[in-house]
Amino acid sequence: MSDFHAELESRLIRYASIDSQSNDDGTSSPSTEIQLNILRLLEAELRDIGASDVQLTPYGTVIATIPGTAAGPTVALLAHVDTAPQFNATGVKPRVIRGYNGGAISFPDNPALSLTPEHNPYLGTKQGHDIITASGLTLLGADDKAGVAILMTTARHLLQNPEIAHPTLRVAFTPDEEIGRGVHSSLPKDLNTDFAYTFDGGAVGEIEYESFSADGAVVTIKGVSIHPGLAKDKLVNAIHLAAKIIQTLPQATLTPETTDDREGFIHATDMTGGASEMTLKFILRDFERDGLAAKGALLQQVCAAVAATEPRAEITCTITPQYRNMRYWLEKDMTPVELARQAARSLGIEPVSVPIRGGTDGSRLTEMGVPCPNLFTGMQNIHGPLEWVSVQDMAQATEFCLALVQHAAKP
């Protein structure tokens, strides 16, 4: 096992074992106190390896400098520490399947679960690799702790090998990316960089410069509450109205499970409350601004139509912008994208650029004036118990990151 392989494996297992799930209902930054556990660890580790200007900002981002050894633009490298709220992330027990044999992978804590190349073709290309998964009851958290491990390994290697030419680098670890709040308004100024990259992508070779545009929506339904024994012609049940809204929205189209490629969707993520008041949460996604606006308008029309059936109820639909397609800005100057492609090809990796059916911190950073494509880490099947990553893929991402910063250096 190479030095990178051992270090990456050790780092990912260590980081993944730390619960750092974000919470959309949290009002602080980070949204959950537990994220500070890994942020403080990374702050200490960056100091230990000799990084400069290490700080944990008041808004919960760890930022550090790797001093340059050559002229060139300042380049920021980012990964996020939080894990997705969609699935259990407490008690993660990472494990390594060494020299994967190409068959089904079972899970010790969930015998009914199986990870197979039939359902995961990319896994079928990783025979002989060392595969890291969780134990079956949690997600792994390689999204994005694989990125964290890659950047920490890269930083350590550069600081210990100053003969490697690279410009000044800024390393940042953000919280709350999974809930769309990873980029604080102060981050672009605090990074003080010419451009940036997030290491938050999947298969080897992915260099992404196009993401969804995204809005969030909250629908609040206030009914009329009364004792059910006295409810004749008086009760207005908010649960029934919530069900009507869900049922009226498209079911065979415009949902995540019925769309792919460049198709957007309306996704109901949460339903809470009771007979007197219900709250529905949605995420709206499309690659184009007009398509996103149309989905918001459709949701509002459905809410208005259901409200018209029961004038005694109060139904509100509030839509909030989250992030926009990074392509709108990057296509005007593809320098950071082309630099990444050159670095990949120098290692014999053929770059692949496909639209991200999601978003990254880079989406917000790019919109805020810091061009920021997204790069591969190797992570797969994210946000669920079948999540996995190849140690060898992470090693390729580390070599790629080193090549990237060397390509950024001016002779």
Annotated binding site: which residue ranges?
80, 143, 178, 200, 383
Q: Return all residues near 304 (Cβ < 8 A) that are at least 6 apart.
A: 315
SS3 at position 34 = coil
Please indicate whether residue 176 is annotated as part of the active site: no
Q: Which of 7, 9, 82, 144 is catalytic?
A: 82
The whole-angstrom separation of Cα 159 and Cα 411 is: 20
Looking at 233-380, list the stretches that DSSP marks H as alpha helix, in order from N- to C-terminal side. 238-248, 289-309, 327-330, 335-346, 361-367
**How far is 387 from 30, CA to CA, in rounded Å?**
24
Three-state DSSP class for residue 11: helix
Tell me the residue length of the chain: 411
Residues belonging to the binding site for Zn(2+) are 80, 143, 178, 200, 383
Q: Are 283 and 323 in contact (CB under 8 A)?
A: no
DSSP string, 334-361: -HHHHHHHHHHHHTTPPPB---BSS--H
Angle at 109 between CA 103 and CA 114, to 5 degrees: 25
Cα end-to-end span (Å), the chain: 33
DSSP string covering 189-236: HHH--SEEEEEEE-STTBEE--B-EEEEEEEEEE-B---GGG-TTT-B
Q: What are 201's two structure tokens?
A: 């992508």
Q: Cβ distance 16 to 135 under 8 Å?
A: no
For this structure, is 82 an active site residue? Answer: yes
Longest CA pairwise span in the chain (Å): 83
Q: What is the dihedral of CA 242, 248, 249, 253, to 10 degrees?
A: 140
Catalytic residue, from 19, 144, 176, 177: name it.
Answer: 177
Active site residues: 82, 177
